[in-house]
Structure 1
Amino acid sequence: MTRDRLVVIGGDAAGMSAAAQARRLRGAGDLEIVVVEQGPDVSYSACGLPYWVGGEVPDRDLLIARTPTQFAADDIEVRLGTRAESIDLAAGSVTTSAGDTLGYDSLVVATGGRPLRPDVPGLDADGVHGVHRLADGADIRAALAAGARRAVVLGGGYIGLEMADVLHGRGLDVTVVLADPFPMAQLDAEMGERVCKAMGDLGIAVQTEQPVREIEVDADGAVAAVRTDDGRYPADLVVLGLGMGPEVALAEAAGLRLGETGAVEVDRTQRSRSHPEVFAAGDCSQTYSRITGEPLHVALGTHANKQGRVAGSVIGGRPARFAGVLGTALTKVGDLEIARTGLCTTQAEAAGYDYRTETIEGTTKAGYYPGAEPITVKLLSDRGSGRLLGAQIVGGPGSGKRIDVLATAIWAGLTAEEFAGSDLSYAPPFSPTYDPVLVAARVASRVEQG
């Protein structure tokens, strides 16, 4: 009996989730699974790289969830150091850098994302590093061990802020250079201002509205400084934290249809809309907003794992659909926790909502309890229906994970009034009697009723 074959291109979150789920649902005798991965590792946490660099995670291998040997025990063959060179959609095959041609019955494209890189001179100089793969973390750690003392971080997204924080914690002089007016472009301006101030208070210099023009190099070809129209910032180390775009060169060359975001266009089962025997998941695939239904490209490991699982379920014979994204995310700089979910005001306006916003200040614990920290909560709601559209939180320790209850409310389509009446826990060490998220919802619902 000939087994069907599933070929997976890419061995991180989406690809290995798809492979593992397909294996759970279909026995080894029924389905052969082959994963080709161009790098030396699979199933590693890119999100943990800053904390390995910073020393909070002491060992690189702690970032690896499962090894090829562990996958092999489940009859999933992983071919490391093997690049997929081309996909022949008509023949149903993948050609690899090892010279093999792998026929497939189902194919999962999980090629991930590519770090965004500005088109400026000097970007390939020694001392300029992305934060994408385990090797990037090793390179940055080596630079620190070699005595780097001045770092410039390009970009103020999650990875950019996290790298700025850990490098500052390692004793480097850190400057963050942004093209945007504030860090965290998906925060509204007044919330971004709070983040910017907290970074300055820590001693991290933030240079805003300054697109990088050049990476200056010394006589040996190593990075010397970052230059913008407004300044020159000396550096021994430059870290790229400019975000991720979809890595779709292989898919595009094969003829898979791309969506308006530039990622592979898929339906809600993660099937390619142009070739139904092909699935795409993770950072290379296009997704959609849970709120507006509009196409999005959001590079987050949470989504990649879920999308891979959906693809693996469908391949394994179990119906599954991806339910969209809110873009819920969380990070910190020093002790300041920063979180967001749903739409910010710019996105709500672009989507055509008639929205209102309410912002409240509170404390993370009962005000009289030791260790109570300030917290700011901002809510967006639809002016007509009262439905919650988005939320942002900036505050001290204990603030950030509150975003999850707001994400749940938005996911469920609750109005501000409905959420304000929900039964959340209370004890003085954890929150005031009315948690700040409920206070914000209560204010929003009162305004709406008025």
Structure 2
Amino acid sequence: MVIIGGDAAGMSAASQARRLRNEDELEIVAFERGTFTSYSACGIPYWVGGEVDSRDELIARTPEEHRKRGIDLRLHTEVTEIDVDGRRVRTRTVDGAEGPSGPDGWTHFDKLVVATGARPVRPPFPGVDADGVHGVQSLTDGQSVLDDLAALERTDDGGRRTLRTVVVGAGYIGVEMSEALIRRGHRVTVLEQAEQPMSMLDPDMGALVREGMSGLGIEVVTGAAVREILTGADGRARAVVTDDGEYAADVVVLGIGVRPETSLARAAGLPVGESGGLLTDLGMRVLGQRDIWAGGDCVEVFDRVARRTRHLPLGTHANKHGQVIGTNAGGGYATFPGVVGTAVSKVCDLEIGRTGLLERQAAEAGLRYVTVTVESTSRAGYYPGAQAMHVKMLAEERTGRLLGTQIVGREGAGKRVDIAAVALTAGMTVEEMTGLDLGYAPPFSPVWDPVLVAARKAVSKVRARSGGGSA
């Protein structure tokens, strides 16, 4: 069993297969071009911001731990070609030294797992590769950001400088990195090309995020397409240029998103979908292939609400994919039924959650829908510490089937989206949701939880559209 990629999906697959088959029954070889394995890329912003003390805390299992479990893990080894018909992969060591099979050597496989992840979007505008411009995809990237910040923060007299930092992109990584930088005491400007930050929310909910970020001292500039990063005489970034202005910067962080890393798979003739991710069946087996599986950020997953595949790069999915792949490759049986598109994030004390479809996604899927937005509180209104919370809900127009939910608020807002995620998975209507037996006590929720308040309002709107009166 040969595995390409040593992070969540690849090493979860290796570990699960090893649980089912010992070394005499199944040899497992994993190739990883980097230095680290099985780590949480999602934790990098919190490490940079100081909430996580060290890089090692983000590593779930080291290369040495994998090897002790009988997995032949080869670091700094890049797979450069997949020969599907010949059932082999070509490798080279990243530093140019001889690899396990020699320079440009071939390794045979009986079973192959493609877990090549995703690559960060790095637009080709001038200056994007200058010193002081950072992506945030790997632990090595995180260390580079930390080292750069630490060097610039120090003054000659032992004091600490406040830096001018610019974050390009206001998606999950951009928003989380803006929090990390504000926590370190720096001035932060976020440049976002879209109408509002967090394009994984509808614009009206993104506007609430913008308001919350501004209240934290973060300058958020929307409709700002970056054209160039200016550099100084030393070759280091000094400013970011958009159509409307120039923003001085000591450090620039790119948070523009990622795309599936499927160049190897494409060259090998393996099937990819509309967003460029590999296509698999429910067992994570690549379509048309008997002994090749794929998982993690390089695949497209089945959206159970929109009933189509799309690219949703999340560590939760990658680990589940790996479990399914390892079970099937190890001789067992498992399936991955798809996702409903759940994600949470935060910027300081502002929590953001979403699941299911946005308005534009529902329209693209050809669905007719109603929307409601409610403002409620995280606790009973009279209980100390109650915080405002906004919930937006989409429901199918005729059936009342829940289509999606977005939540922006503070304490307790983010994980409340899990209520809607379970309802989506179960195919519930908003009317069925109003009868959910949720936990209640004044310190945790109002008598009617904010999600159920939104569901009740959605029921009324669905009935009004169908001429059935109000709830």
TM-score interval, smaller chain:
over 0.9
**Separation in structure 2 between the aligned mates of residue 189 and residue 95 of structure 1, nearest angstrom:** 46
Question: Given the alignment of the two structures, is residue 310 of structure 1 paired with residue 315 of structure 2, yes or no?
Answer: no
Query: Per-residue CA shift, 1:300-352, capped at 9, x if unaligned?
Result: 11111111211111111222221112221111112110110000111011111
Query: Per-residue CA shift, 1:363-412, capped at 9, x if unaligned?
Result: 00011111100001111000111110000000011111000111000111
Query: Per-residue CA shift, 1:60-114, capped at 9, x if unaligned?
Result: 1000000122112221111111111211111111121112421110000000000
Find the counterpart in structure 2 of residue 30 from structure 1. Answer: 25
For the residue of structure 1 that corresponds to 2:81, the secondary structure is strand
For the residue of structure 1 that corresponds to 2:345, the secondary structure is strand
Find the counterpart in structure 1 of residue 182 from structure 2. Answer: 168
Find the counterpart in structure 1 of residue 415 from structure 2. Answer: 401
**Separation in structure 2 between the aligned mates of residue 200 and residue 139 of structure 1, nearest angstrom:** 27
Q: How many residues align?
A: 445
Find the counterpart in structure 2 of residue 76 from structure 1. Answer: 71
Q: Paired residue for 2:126, among 116, 121, 125?
A: 121
Map of 1:417-436 to 2, 5 A cutoff?
417-436=431-450
Q: CA deviation at 1:18?
A: 0.9
Find the counterpart in structure 1 of residue 82 from structure 2. Answer: 87
AA aligned to 2:371 is: T
For the residue of structure 1 that corresponds to 2:407, the secondary structure is strand
AA aligned to 1:357 is: T
**Separation in structure 1 between the aligned mates of residue 177 and residue 372 of structure 2, nearest angstrom:** 31
**Separation in structure 1 between the aligned mates of residue 175 and residue 139 of structure 2, nearest angstrom:** 19
**Separation in structure 1 between the aligned mates of residue 227 and residue 361 of structure 2, nearest angstrom:** 29
Map of 1:256-267 to 2, 5 A cutoff?
256-267=270-281
**Separation in structure 1 between the aligned mates of residue 434 and residue 72 of structure 2, nearest angstrom:** 50
Find the counterpart in structure 2 of residue 181 from structure 1. Answer: 195
**Separation in structure 2 between the aligned mates of residue 396 and residue 262 of structure 1, nearest angstrom:** 36
Find the counterpart in structure 2 of residue 102 from structure 1. Answer: 107
Map of 1:31-46 to 2, 5 A cutoff?
31-46=26-41
Q: Paired residue for 2:299, among 254, 270, 285?
A: 285
For the residue of structure 2 that corresponds to 1:39, the secondary structure is coil
Find the counterpart in structure 1 of residue 334 from structure 2. Answer: 320
Whether the 8 Å contact between 2:370 and 2:461 is mirrored in structure 1 is no
Question: Given the alignment of the two structures, is residue 52 of structure 1 paired with residue 57 of structure 2, yes or no?
Answer: no
Find the counterpart in structure 1 of residue 158 from structure 2. Answer: none
AA aligned to 1:55 is: G
Question: Given the alignment of the two structures, is residue 410 of structure 1 paired with residue 415 of structure 2, yes or no?
Answer: no
Q: CA deviation at 1:44?
A: 0.5
Find the counterpart in structure 2 of residue 240 from structure 1. Answer: 254
User: Once superposed, which parts of structure 1, at least 4 consecutive aligned residues long, lie more than 2 Å away?
Assistant: 446-450
Q: CA deviation at 1:215?
A: 0.6
For the residue of structure 2 that corresponds to 1:282, the secondary structure is coil
Q: Paired residue for 1:137, among 142, 147, 156?
A: 142
Map of 1:313-352 to 2, 5 A cutoff?
313-352=327-366
Find the counterpart in structure 1 of residue 62 from structure 2. Answer: 67
AA aligned to 1:101 is: W
**Separation in structure 1 between the aligned mates of residue 282 and residue 170 of structure 2, nearest angstrom:** 31
Q: CA deviation at 1:203?
A: 1.0
Q: CA deviation at 1:276?
A: 2.5
AA aligned to 1:223 is: A
Map of 1:7-26 to 2, 5 A cutoff?
7-26=2-21
Q: CA deviation at 1:226?
A: 0.4
**Separation in structure 1 between the aligned mates of residue 63 and residue 148 of structure 2, nearest angstrom:** 29
For the residue of structure 1 that corresponds to 2:145, the secondary structure is helix
The more displaced of 347-356 and 72-81 is 72-81
Question: Given the alignment of the two structures, is residue 445 of structure 1 paired with residue 445 of structure 2, yes or no?
Answer: no
Q: CA deviation at 1:153?
A: 0.5
TM-score when normalising by structure 2:
0.93
Q: Paired residue for 2:230, among 201, 216, 229?
A: 216
AA aligned to 2:8 is: A
For the residue of structure 1 that corresponds to 2:297, the secondary structure is helix
**Separation in structure 1 between the aligned mates of residue 121 and residue 187 of structure 2, nearest angstrom:** 24
**Separation in structure 1 between the aligned mates of residue 306 and residue 345 of structure 2, nearest angstrom:** 25
**Separation in structure 2 between the aligned mates of residue 27 and residue 334 of structure 1, nearest angstrom:** 46
Find the counterpart in structure 1 of residue 212 from structure 2. Answer: 198
Query: Per-residue CA shift, 1:130-181, capped at 9, x if unaligned?
Result: 1101011111111111125111101111110000011011011110001101
For the residue of structure 1 that corresponds to 2:125, the secondary structure is coil
For the residue of structure 2 that corresponds to 1:48, the secondary structure is helix
AA aligned to 2:118 is: G
**Separation in structure 1 between the aligned mates of residue 460 and residue 202 of structure 2, nearest angstrom:** 23
TM-score when normalising by structure 1:
0.97
**Separation in structure 2 between the aligned mates of residue 105 and residue 247 of structure 1, nearest angstrom:** 23
**Separation in structure 1 between the aligned mates of residue 140 and residue 67 of structure 2, nearest angstrom:** 24
Find the counterpart in structure 1 of residue 152 from structure 2. Answer: 147
Q: CA deviation at 1:27?
A: 2.4
Q: Paired residue for 2:312, among 298, 304, 326?
A: 298
The more displaced of 85-94 and 379-388 is 85-94
**Separation in structure 2 between the aligned mates of residue 68 and residue 173 of structure 1, nearest angstrom:** 38
**Separation in structure 2 between the aligned mates of residue 133 and residue 274 of structure 1, nearest angstrom:** 32
Query: Per-residue CA shift, 1:222-264, capped at 9, x if unaligned?
Result: 0010000001001011111011101111112222222222111
The more displaced of 216-225 and 286-295 is 286-295
**Separation in structure 1 between the aligned mates of residue 124 and residue 64 of structure 2, nearest angstrom:** 40
**Separation in structure 2 between the aligned mates of residue 47 and residue 160 of structure 1, nearest angstrom:** 12
Q: CA deviation at 1:274?
A: 3.4
Question: Given the alignment of the two structures, is residue 255 of structure 1 paired with residue 260 of structure 2, yes or no?
Answer: no
Find the counterpart in structure 2 of residue 391 from structure 1. Answer: 405
**Separation in structure 2 between the aligned mates of residue 259 and residue 393 of structure 1, nearest angstrom:** 30
AA aligned to 2:136 is: V
**Separation in structure 1 between the aligned mates of residue 373 and residue 292 of structure 2, nearest angstrom:** 45
